[in-house]
Amino acid sequence: MKKFLAFVLVAVLVLSVLTGCKQQVKQPVTLVFAKGDAVELDPADVTDGESITVMNNIFEGLVRYKPGSTEIEPCLATTWEASSDGLEWTFHLRQGIKFHDGTPFNADAVVFSYERQRDPNHSFHKYGKWEYWSWCFSEIAKTEKVDDYTVKITLSSPFTPFLSTMAMFTADVVSPTNCEKWGDQWFANPIGTGPFKFVEWVKGDHITLEKNNDYWGEKAKIDKLIFKVIDDPSARLIALQKGEVQGMEFPNPNDYETIQKDSNLVILSEPGLNVGYLAMNMGEDTPGFEAPYKDVRVRQAIAYAINKKDIVEQLYKGTAVVAKNPIPPTLWGYNDAIQDYEYNPTKAKELLAQAGYPNGFKTKLWAMPVSRPYMFDPQKIATAIQAYLKAVGIDAEIVTYDWGTYLQKTEGGEHAMCLLGWTADYADPDDFLYVLLDSDSATVGSAGNVAFYRNPEVHKLNIQAQQETNFDKRVELYKKVQEYVHNDVPWVTIAHAKQTLVFHKSVKGFVLYPTGDYHFESVTIEGQ
Amino acid sequence: MLFAVSILIFLLIRLAPGDPARTMAGEHASLEILEQMRKEWGLDKPLIEQYLIWLRHAFKGDFGRSILTHESILKEILYRFPNTLELSIFAMIFATLIGLFAGIISAVRRYSIFDYFTMFIALFGVSMPVFWLAIMLLLLFGLKLNLLPISGRLSVFYSIKPITHLYLVDSLITLNFPAFFDALKHLVLPSVALGTIPMAFIARITRSSMLDVLNRDYIRTAKAKGLTQRAVIMKHALKNALIPIITASGTEFALLLGGAVLTETVFSWPGLGTYVVQAVNARDYPAVQGAVIFIALVVAVVNLIVDVLYAFIDPRIHYQ
């Protein structure tokens, strides 16, 4: 028995030594990044951030956002022009590019990528859900090939934000031969033109990409990019401190202090394209409407009564900045001239008295059941708002439902006041000001505008901005919309969540995009 | 029983508020899109029809495709189950070895310091939140002492050719020893975290069952015959005390096989537990149904094995 034990121990030791030797072989420069797992790997069929992060590095669209900005620049298309009525957009494609599987990139690939989503009779349409197409691209009537390197996209109505939507992952171009090869398994085998190629996806564990050595643009600096699945933010941080990974997303705000103290770690953060807000239901045709909210003085009073700065500092724990406009400061068109309602309970009481509610009133405050970056811990935020309102005499009862029901009911206008937020899909003020605050979006039952704010002036400006092709003029129009929204107070804007990433200090060159996209081609690792 | 479970889960998941179309289409889908999606997945049909369609396919071993990921549900379950199985087996080995040992000594040395200490630890183990223990293990052995890896089943630099999907087995078959040791190291912390509650439970059951047996006449006889303490305890007492211990262990093992969401989340272990939770959150009806039925089947099989084991241990139990 003893001899056997000794043998086993020796064997273990020898093998351990061998294991050690094996690890000393020079590894390719690899960045391991901790995040949640992807749901699927086709850019047009995904809606969740975890999948999109992977897509961003494998696929490309005709246009893209400039690094770190919301402005558009050429990508797979070199130039484009719109017809004078704004309905026909012609894109001239970059030549000589191949997909990772060797398929040439051309007009056919673009037409395939878009038509499979739009046309229910397309042979590939049956495989996907294509949710975003009907949401962001419904204005596209068709995509046609003009010649091998020219495509024409026809819109059903003039819609200038179209160009911003074209920089979304949904408009990335996929290899048609690859899709046809895999059929209904295509979602797990992504082939694009981007700086990284797909290697493997071990579900729930990791996704591996490798450098595309034939990339047409500036090639990636790292050889391998591994997205390691670690769902728990605290476990992610420990893995980062331990060196198992070199970067991570969404740290737990309670860990910020630990991160700041650790000299090996670097935090990158900036406000993303999102907003968290308190909407006051102004729609008299909605079941949840309560009379006080018709009066702008009441809405202003509520804006004065809430100490946003304290909420953001105490409850968002440094993960957000105070919002004074519906659109975030990182998006073009932001109106910085607007003076926010400061915290002033006395003024709030005065306004309430003027509106005929000197003793306040009873109301309901709906709180989201789930935490979102733009509404970090909604239950606590609701409790804080409840206390602020109580101080000026408004007695708000907190109501909550499960998330699906909550969305459904708020879209149906069953609330008086509700907490909600928004993360933009494309970097255009239209995705905030039209989608969330236009009368077109205030249909009871399917409202994006849950304040049911229907100002005809705002609507006019929004539509004008959708049709205007001059960038500077659009900026002016959107600034005007923000003034109206500020004066009419359909919302108390609360916060813009910051996207936060943590890297080991040896990782350099990562650029934050306001859209929340992660692009790793510019990243280097010092010492490797 | 499986039928009952299938009907129950079918109804329960549909009674839960929320709608798969809504979850999938996101916060901004139009009513038409939602309608179209419901139609596509047959969610607009009457419940009974939906159930019968599902049952017909399930009988053929076809659990359908996940609404969320498009992936075949059976494929996903069969991919994740070995992960859960490997972890559960190790957790049970840990739980049984330590639990039995502690329970026996506590019973034999009743009211000794060891007994008090073990039972205190066992009480602590039963009542402690598992995610807390998991995080503590992670901080201590993963970060501070830097002895063991903390996430996943394998380091990213190794790969194992999947055959059975049990990494230890696969790495041995392919003689990939570095990967074998790496996978083994990855198993330690989650197994301890997951095995602690069963371990405490087994220790307590062993102690009470042993105490019960140690007072019996045949033990006195055995002692009177002049047998060694060791022989009395291991051959005469333990064997007779085993039935409740096996029952408890079997139940615990079956529970573990259903997946352990908290442990899996902390250690990023791609097991069945997180799969079910993800499916429930997305209201991915077919995935939830498929996974729950599969778990029910596994529990039934484990219980059957335990029942058969009784017959081996206790000759008085016969099955006709």
ipTM: 0.78
Supply the mean pLDDT for chain B. 84
- Between CA A71 and CA A331 the distance in angstroms is 9
Instruction: Report the pLDDT value the prediction gives residue B280, as an integer from 0 to 100.
Output: 84
CB contact under 8 A, A242 and B154: no
Q: Is B154 on the interface with A (CB under 8 A)?
A: yes
Q: For an interface test with B, give the residue of A8, A14, A19, A265 to mutate (most B CBs within 10 A).
A: A19
Per-residue pLDDT at A18 exceeds 80: no
Q: Residue A17: its pLDDT value, please? A: 47
Mean pLDDT of A152-165: 91
Q: Is A408 on the interface with B (CB under 8 A)?
A: yes
Residue B66 has pLDDT above 50, yes or no: yes
The mean pLDDT value for A339-352 works out to 96
List chain A residues with CB under 8 Å of B37: 129
Nearest to A404 among B22, B138, B266 (CB): B22
Q: B157 CB near a chain A CB, below 8 Å?
A: yes
- What residues of chain B, 254 to 273, have a C-beta less than 8 Å from chain A? 265-271
**Can you tell me the mean pLDDT for A355-366?**
95
Q: Do B76 and A405 touch (CB under 8 A)?
A: no
**Rounded CA gap, A359 and B107, in Å?**
70
- Whether residue A226 and residue B156 make contact (CB cut-off 8 A), yes or no, is yes
For A186, the closest chain B residue by CA position comes to B70
3-state secondary structure A359-377: CCCEEEEECCCCCECCECC
The Cβ of residue A469 has, within 10 Å, a number of other Cβ atoms equal to: 12
Query: What integer pLDDT is reported at residue A316 of this predicted model?
Result: 87
Name the residue facing B70 among A134, A187, A235 (closest C-beta): A187
Q: Which band of pLDDT confidence, cut at 50, 70 and 90, is reported for residue A363?
A: very high
* Confidence check: pLDDT of A459 > 90: yes
- With 70 as the cut, is the pLDDT of residue B22 above it? no
Q: Could you say which of B22, B154, B270 has the minimum Cβ distance to residue A204?
A: B270
pLDDT tens for each residue of B123-145: 888 888 888 899 899 889 988 89
> With a CB-CB cutoff of 8 Å, which residues 167-186 of chain B face chain A?
177-178, 181-182
* pLDDT tens per residue across span A71-122: 899 999 999 998 988 899 999 999 999 999 999 999 999 999 999 999 999 9
Residue of B nearest to A131 (CA): B25
Determine the pLDDT at residue A151. Answer: 97
Q: Does residue A25 carry a pLDDT above 70? A: no
Identify which has the larger pLDDT, A417 or B2.
Answer: A417
Are A131 and B25 in contact (CB < 8 Å)? yes
In degrees and rounded to multiples of 5, residue A178 shows phi and psi of: -65, -45
Q: Most B CBs within 10 Å: which of A37, A205, A236, as the mutation test of the B interface?
A: A205
Of the residues B84, B131, B268, B269, the best mutation for testing chain A's interface (the one with the most A CB atoms within 10 Å of its CB) is B268
> Taking CB atoms and an 8 Å cutoff, what residues of chain B touch A228?
151-152, 156, 268
pLDDT on residue B152: 86
Query: 3-state SS of chain B?
Result: CHHHHHHHHHHHHHHCCCCHHHHHHCCCCCHHHHHHHHHHCCCCCCHHHHHHHHHHHHHCCCCCECCCCCCEHHHHHHHHHHHHHHHHHHHHHHHHHHHHHHHHHHHHCCCCHHHHHHHHHHHHHHHCCHHHHHHHHHHHHHHHCCCCCCCCCCCCCCCCCCCCCCHHHHHHHCCCHHHHHHHHHHHHHHHHHHHHHHHHHHHHHHHHHHHHHHCCHHHHHHHHCCCCHHHHHHHHHHHHHHHHHHHHHHHHHHHHHCCCHHHHHHCCCCCHHHHHHHHHHCCCHHHHHHHHHHHHHHHHHHHHHHHHHHHHHCCCCCCC
Asked if B181's CB is within 8 angstroms of A238's CB, the reply is: no
